[in-house]
Amino acid sequence: MKKLILIIGIALMGSMSLMAQDRGPRMTAEERVEKIMENFSKHVTLDETETASVKQVYTEMFAEMEEMRSSGERPDREEMMEKMKQMREEKETKLKEILGEEKFAQYEAAVDEIEPGRRGGGRKGGRR
């Protein structure tokens, strides 16, 4: 009887740890852009032209990221991180041109809320 309870307990713990790691389906690039634009509008007031331009910047970035992931090629971690860093820098350069100094400062102040899945920098709580 004790062995049966032990086996059931181990099975339950194993299944709970597997469920905890299930993140569900990954959001599409379009869904991610929509979520970011929704968050963006809460923190930075954009006119129609700025909204369209910012949306285009994120759409291009996510399309490039998706292309990297689906290429079948597996670059090493450092190479991948360097490419991602370069893409973030390009995105921020483009955003600064679109938004101007004042609105870009608002974006920087709220970037963790605007881009919730973003890793690194000012994020609290470590890795996901």
Q: What is the pLDDT of residue 122?
A: 44
What is the Cα–Cα distance from 109 to 81, expressed in whole angstroms? 23
Contacts of 103 (CB under 8 A, 6+ apart): 44, 45, 46, 50
What is the Cα–Cα distance from 68 to 73, expressed in whole angstroms? 8
Q: What is the pLDDT of residue 125?
A: 43
Q: What is the pLDDT of residue 21?
A: 54
Amino acid at 16: M
Is-contact 64 86, C-beta < 8 A? Answer: no
Is-contact 91 61, C-beta < 8 A? Answer: yes
Give the residue ranges of the chain where pLDDT is below 50. 121-128
